[in-house]
Structure 1
Amino acid sequence: MASRVPRLGDHQKKNNSLFYLKKAKQACVKNDYAEAYENFVLYFESLNDPSESTAAVQTVFTKLVCKMGAVLEETSNIEELLKCYIQALNLFPDNYVILNNLGAYMFKISEIDIARRYLERAVKVNRNYLPAEINLMHVKWHQIPRWHFRMLNDKSRNMAFEAAIKSIIKEGYRNVIDIGAGCGLLSLIAAHMPGTSVVAIEENKQLYNMCLDILKKNEVTNVKVLHCYSTDIEEPPDKCNLLVTEVFDCALFGERALETIYHASTVLRTEEDYKIVPCGAKLYVTGISSQDLIKRHKWTLDKSLQLLNLQNVCLTEYDLEPYEAETLIERDVKYMTDIHQVFDIDFYNLEQISEILNDDSYEKLIQLRCIEEGELHAFAVWFDLNLTECISITNNPLDEDQVTCWEQAIIYLDHPVQVVKGTIITIKVAVRDCGLNVTLVETEAGNHTCFKVSKEVVTFLNDQKLVDCIAALAPKFWNTNLTVVDNNSCPLLGFLLAKNNCSTVYHPIKTEADRTFFEYVLSANHIPKERFVIVSELEVTPGQETCIFFFDTVNVDGSLENCCFKKNEIGSSINIPQSLSIMVQLISSPYIEFCNRVDDENVLEFKIADVINEYSGYEHPNLERLMYTEHSPPVKFQLDGDGEKSKDIIVTRKGVSNALLLWYDIQFYDDIVYSTLNSMHFKKTCFFFDEPKELELGDGVSIKMQTNGTYMKFYI
């Protein structure tokens, strides 16, 4: 039997492979990413199958691809970035790390559908890879926002629409167009009435597909679904004598409701005798005072003003939106004026709608009588929605029967106004670009120096405990002549140390809107600009033996900031904070279920929950306020690396728990510890359970934490 003799080609191929691999490793040592990447690709292509390479080599290549991606993203070289990722995936189609990184990048540049495909592949390959699991959840949240869950769970709203639609159809109006159909609830209501034909129009691709699935699941065949903006349709898609729509935001106009109704009434309906659900709306405004609310919009904390040597400075939130949505019944609010009806809009009155939409000079001057004495901080707006002449719903916070899917619109005054009971104030109300604008007329100019800054700067400076901690921290480093890097959204520590002769402070600015204010602080405190350097990106030149690095370890939304895992190599650096602990507590809160999971009972027993709850996830971040019941004391997890940990906890209150509440204890330095639990600046996070858990007093529960970098997951 002849022995196998190696062919010359095999030998040469192996030598080439080893040559490319050696060059790739040498380039990695020199941090020459491009050279390393090119030689790794040549190495893998020289093999019969790239998967023949060792796991160690594949791991090095994966890390290299991720580094390349980060560098190319920083330089906005999108073409090369995509080429790098796609080429790597051609070599290793099941590399879940690369799949996740590419998916996360596509999400960042708003290529949502593409992002989801890559992330779903990553999760399918490795269901235990936390970054891909959480990134996929974030993509789903973007496709189906949380407000959609709140809307579907608002049973009162749904029953009112059901009663209105059924009553109109019973009058003989059976050819229905549902505009902004969402997942199809209102179309389902209409379609279940005898003799109806329904056209559902939805522009959101995900909701469009969901609507098709839900109609099929409910065995409905008399609904045609169109994927487009209704205002793009130039002729009726079918017979229509009943228009149904729910495209309203908390201030009525923000979702282009009037434009949609006007177009539908003039283009989509096919009969002179027709009906609209809803048929009209009334909009109301009143003046309010609320320290609870104003602190999130305007700088009010005297201590931080004094620390920065600022007098007569007005600092307010920079926001392009004309109003914010708030749930006033959960706030400490004082109603300062009477309530005035601003609009009474008849949706059949096309002349009235046209005037509001198209007349640039259209506005209303409204006089409000003050019923209290004190500071006027903002105006609150809500509405009544007349579904029919007999059926209406409202988001009026003073009405015990208010629906809960809409909050109230709050329009803040940059400068609070002192008002006296019985006096009259005048406001101007207008609809501009399909949005509501409310302004106060004839206010006296103050003697303030005014700045518009990011909301994060306002809430940072208004957080009493946070400011106290930093004020206590600063003296520990006074007159030490150290270089300081303050990476917080507001560099309060950097300002205080710069006033007391540290060497140089560097602050990588997060929002350019803040730069003018920060430069004013330097001027007011006589700090030379060469001592406090504002940069777009952090570039500190080594040279100091000791530097202070003050990192913003927690994001405002309650997630971990990437920089909290960076280690500094500039001399013997002092890292602040010294440590970060995660506090977790068993709780129950109706809000968690309301915003994250739909119950078919709330959607009139239609089969909707199974479809939409695929977008639910298991985490609710960015919680500013949360009403909840405690079922245990908090348990502490130290954040010190990746992996899984568990802690046992004893139930102290019997009941049904549906979530774990998470916040942080930040040890800035020695005995200076700050908790984000009741923070003005940092929001909280909840991890909720697949099913609520029945708890008995004294039960032992094991809470588990899984971490991978800044990605976290908690469960029991």
Structure 2
Amino acid sequence: MSSRVPRLGAQQKKTNNLAYLKKAKQACIRNNYAKAYENFVLYFESLEDPADSDLAVQGVFTRLVCRMGSILEETSNTEELLKCYIQALNFFPDNYLILNNLGAYMFKISEINIARRYLEKAFRVNKNYLPAEINLMHVKWHQMPRWHFRMLNDKARNEAYKAAIESVTAKGYKNVVDIGAGCGLLSLISARIPDTSVLAIEENKQLYDMCLDVMKNNQVTNVKVMHCYSTDIEDPPDKCNLLVTEVFDCALFGEKALCTIYHAISVLRTEEDYKIIPAGAKLYITGITCEDLIKRHKLTLDKSLDLLNLGNICLTEHDLEPYETENLTERNVEYLTDSHRAFDINFYDLEQIGEILKDETYEKIIHLKCLKEGEIHAFAVWFDLNLTDDITITNNPLNADRVTCWEQAVVYLDHPVEVETGTVLTVKVGVKDCGLHVELIEIEPHRNHTCFKASKDVITFLNDPKLVDTIAGLEQKFRDVNFTVVDNNCFPLLGFLLAKTGDSSTVYHPIKQETDRAFFDYLLTVNRIPKERFVIVKGLEDTPGEDRTIFFFDSIHVDGSLQNYCLTKNEIATWINVPQCLNVVVQLINSPYIEICNKVDDANVFGFKIADVINEYSGFEHPNLERLKYEEYSTPVKFRLEGDGEASKNVIALKKGDCNAILLWYEIRFYQDIVYSTLNSTHYKKTCYFLNEPKQLELSDGVTVKMKINDTYMKFSIA
């Protein structure tokens, strides 16, 4: 009988439980998140096992934690954010939503290894939760950039290095140090030669671990792997009479190659008689013109100039890198000058390398002769890598036998230069902070227009003729509508046009980059727009929530991924949301480039067992594609983006062959009949979802394309 009578303490505890829970729910209703969280914590702490609490209560708490995480992230309160997430995970260690949010945040603050642990756990708990799967994939991409795949798949590069190593070791140089070993391909090549000993040095922890696994998988025992920067080693750890390295970027110097080689010869080699692969390099530069490339860095579109009275302006990219990587073989490039050998470096010559490195900036003057008239937009740079006296590889875009793992470096000019045949350009070429630096010395600097700097996104937006024309047409629809306008695009073209032509509309623009503010202020002045009619604010939270509002939201990131387009689905009846709807368009394709960049084939690395290790980092998506060579294997098919869930569409194969990817772009219905496609956009990039194994198709085969979407996360596959 007494065993059925509740103890007084237990009754009091239950009462307190309910009081905490009630207070937490009331605080949630009042949007007092801190108070709600405090009472939820007290409630769960009072339970013997929080996991036994009502699932609906757990759901409310999860949403609260994620909401608080967003607020704390916006205010950069990392300490409180981590405390909130970790305390919540102490109650519910398998809550995949909180695990994912914490992992995504750790990725944003560059705590990559910690991020991966949380995201891997979130994905293990729920393999159907798409945000965790995609966030984990993004972390792996950061740990293993795609150029690793492209490098390992470059058979020409691999065969040249193999021939060089075999040639040199045959002469008795068999104590090998491989600097920047990566996953260990060059070490494997060296280790398979009889009587060699190999020290592989790799500073990247992920690649170091991978190198260990690769050696184990290939049953190699004569390779010692070290995790460090080679330049941090003060004494030689092993005998060394052969240095092997491949620490070069598209402009040769960018990965501190000269510093690495100088230190290796000075510290790591142990014998006076030694060899180094590569033995030297030659770097070349030439002047080029290319309309496609310059549009990414300088405003050129006449339509934009006419609409906003920008005829006497020069707008170029803010904070431009010293050079960018481009595949010039896929561009309509015209080479206007001769090619000049800017550097000829002998890697055995410590005096020469030391001379380049001793000054903060090493410079030399070269002269380029113009072979034809035209407008020089940029300088192209490539190199020859002399592995031995007899073996050379190059990334020269004009050489059909070039290697493909390196593209070319392009140094853009803020102000293109008009030249005549025979004109001689004076160029300063140097090494600054261990990287290439190029500067044109102009004889007569331009002074005939106003110069501004803007973010790259603003420039590519204004240089997209179809996008500009479409939004100009959209402005015609709203010109006589007396609404408040919120234009949330990177460049608020609709907002500027309505403020310029409308009678009473007030425009608000949440600015994306503060570097664009001076240019935007100039636009207000030159178009005689009063600043009270066009208000630049810091974020969406600073825009008015008025009833009569046109809300223009950019639903797609420049890299081709989806933004939170659901924000446009505001329930206020008097709001006009732009775009009105968004379709994603997909097409079955075949592209060799997708395979090369995302999946290693052991056949390209002499049959060594590397693919299983590195392909873990492949994923299923290749975003940010500006240009892609491919064959079409189906007609396009549209999916309406209407919220979370899954959908499928049937397509018919257009030809026989192997389909290895699904190409994706967007169709945006801004308003009524105003529609824009990103397929040929110069602003928005495209995305590919690639298949683990190519799908063999016959003509007229039916194929089912499946879409899965959760918030802004998408995944496409075929059945």
Q: TM-score range by the shorter chain?
A: over 0.9
For residue 157 of structure 1, what is the amino acid of its counterpart? R
Partner of 1:113, secondary structure, is helix
| 2:163 aligned residue | 163
Q: Is the 8 A contact 1:130 1:712 kept in 2?
A: yes
Counterpart Cα distance in 2 of 1:100 and 1:517:
39
Larger deviation, residues 560-569 vs 178-187: 560-569
Counterpart Cα distance in 1 of 2:361 and 2:58:
66
Counterpart Cα distance in 2 of 1:498 and 1:27:
42
Counterpart Cα distance in 2 of 1:605 and 1:249:
26
| 1:670 aligned residue | 672
Report the CA distance between 1:545 and its aligned residue: 3.1
Report the CA distance between 1:13 and its aligned residue: 1.3
Distance 1:102 1:544, change over 3 A: closer
Partner of 2:431, secondary structure, is strand
| 1:650 aligned residue | 652
Q: Which of 606, 611, 619 does residue 613 from structure 2 map onto?
A: 611
* Residues 429-469 of structure 1 deviation map (CA, whole Å, 9 limit, x = unaligned): 11111111111112422212111111101100000000000
| 1:23 aligned residue | 23
Distance 1:86 1:694, change over 3 A: same
* Residues 672-714 of structure 1 deviation map (CA, whole Å, 9 limit, x = unaligned): 1000001000000000111000001111111110000000000
Counterpart Cα distance in 1 of 2:663 and 2:220:
41
Distance 1:541 1:712, change over 3 A: closer
| 2:268 aligned residue | 268
Counterpart Cα distance in 2 of 1:469 and 1:149:
39
After superposition, residues 73-84 of structure 1 pair within 5 angstroms as 73-84=73-84
Counterpart Cα distance in 1 of 2:251 and 2:692:
34
| 1:283 aligned residue | 283
Report the CA distance between 1:422 and its aligned residue: 2.0
| 1:490 aligned residue | 491
Distance 1:502 1:699, change over 3 A: farther
Counterpart Cα distance in 2 of 1:216 and 1:456:
46
Report the CA distance between 1:502 and its aligned residue: 4.0
Report the CA distance between 1:566 and its aligned residue: 4.8
For residue 351 of structure 1, what is the amino acid of its counterpart? E
Q: Is the 8 A contact 1:558 1:683 kept in 2?
A: yes
Report the CA distance between 1:357 and its aligned residue: 1.3
For residue 456 of structure 1, what is the amino acid of its counterpart? D
Counterpart Cα distance in 1 of 2:489 and 2:247:
39
For residue 555 of structure 1, what is the amino acid of its counterpart? H
Counterpart Cα distance in 2 of 1:466 and 1:546:
26
Q: Which of 635, 657, 667 does residue 633 from structure 1 map onto?
A: 635
* Residues 89-129 of structure 1 deviation map (CA, whole Å, 9 limit, x = unaligned): 00000000000000000000000000000000000000000
Larger deviation, residues 440-449 vs 323-332: 440-449
After superposition, residues 275-424 of structure 1 pair within 5 angstroms as 275-360=275-360, 362-424=362-424
* Residues 529-561 of structure 1 deviation map (CA, whole Å, 9 limit, x = unaligned): 121111121235646431111101000000011
Q: Is the 8 A contact 1:542 1:570 kept in 2?
A: no
Report the CA distance between 1:570 and its aligned residue: 6.2
For residue 507 of structure 2, what is the amino acid of its counterpart? V
| 1:10 aligned residue | 10
Question: After the TM superposition, which segments of 4 or more aligned residues of structure 1 sit over 6 Å from their partners?
Answer: none
Distance 1:461 1:22, change over 3 A: same
Q: Which of 702, 711, 717 does residue 709 from structure 1 map onto?
A: 711
Counterpart Cα distance in 2 of 1:488 and 1:445:
34
Report the CA distance between 1:356 and its aligned residue: 1.0
Q: Is the 8 A contact 1:542 1:571 kept in 2?
A: no
Partner of 2:439, secondary structure, is strand
| 2:481 aligned residue | 480
Q: Is the 8 A contact 1:478 1:502 kept in 2?
A: no
Report the CA distance between 1:323 and its aligned residue: 0.4
Larger deviation, residues 311-320 vs 231-240: 311-320
| 1:461 aligned residue | 462
Counterpart Cα distance in 2 of 1:3 and 1:454:
74
Counterpart Cα distance in 1 of 2:504 and 2:649:
42
Distance 1:262 1:540, change over 3 A: closer
After superposition, residues 546-695 of structure 1 pair within 5 angstroms as 546-568=548-570, 572-695=574-697
**TM-score, with normalisation over the residues of structure 2?**
0.98
Larger deviation, residues 647-656 vs 311-320: 311-320
| 2:257 aligned residue | 257
| 2:195 aligned residue | 195
For residue 135 of structure 2, what is the amino acid of its counterpart? N
| 1:452 aligned residue | 453
Counterpart Cα distance in 2 of 1:541 and 1:534:
9
Counterpart Cα distance in 1 of 2:47 and 2:473:
61
For residue 374 of structure 1, what is the amino acid of its counterpart? G
After superposition, residues 138-287 of structure 1 pair within 5 angstroms as 138-287=138-287
Partner of 1:362, secondary structure, is strand
Q: Is the 8 A contact 1:543 1:570 kept in 2?
A: no
Counterpart Cα distance in 2 of 1:159 and 1:436:
28
Larger deviation, residues 555-564 vs 152-161: 555-564
* Residues 275-314 of structure 1 deviation map (CA, whole Å, 9 limit, x = unaligned): 1000000001111111111111111000001101112211
Counterpart Cα distance in 2 of 1:535 and 1:227:
48
Partner of 1:539, secondary structure, is helix
Larger deviation, residues 472-481 vs 232-241: 472-481
Partner of 2:18, secondary structure, is helix
Partner of 1:499, secondary structure, is helix
For residue 161 of structure 1, what is the amino acid of its counterpart? Y
Counterpart Cα distance in 2 of 1:657 and 1:15:
63
| 1:516 aligned residue | 518
Counterpart Cα distance in 2 of 1:503 and 1:661:
40
Report the CA distance between 1:3 and its aligned residue: 5.9
Counterpart Cα distance in 1 of 2:224 and 2:411:
40
For residue 482 of structure 2, what is the amino acid of its counterpart? N
Larger deviation, residues 138-147 vs 432-441: 432-441
Q: Is the 8 A contact 1:551 1:564 kept in 2?
A: no
Report the CA distance between 1:480 and its aligned residue: 2.7
Counterpart Cα distance in 2 of 1:361 and 1:125:
53
Distance 1:223 1:543, change over 3 A: closer
Report the CA distance between 1:562 and its aligned residue: 2.1
Distance 1:74 1:393, change over 3 A: same
Q: Is the 8 A contact 2:568 2:579 kept in 1?
A: no
Q: Is the 8 A contact 1:544 1:571 kept in 2?
A: no
Partner of 1:259, secondary structure, is helix
Larger deviation, residues 312-321 vs 22-31: 312-321
Unaligned runs of 5+ in 1: none
Report the CA distance between 1:340 and its aligned residue: 1.0
Q: Is the 8 A contact 1:251 1:383 kept in 2?
A: yes
Counterpart Cα distance in 1 of 2:235 and 2:138:
38
Counterpart Cα distance in 2 of 1:482 and 1:584:
36
For residue 625 of structure 2, what is the amino acid of its counterpart? L
Counterpart Cα distance in 1 of 2:119 and 2:406:
32
Distance 1:401 1:543, change over 3 A: closer
The count of corresponding residues between Structure 1 and Structure 2 is: 716
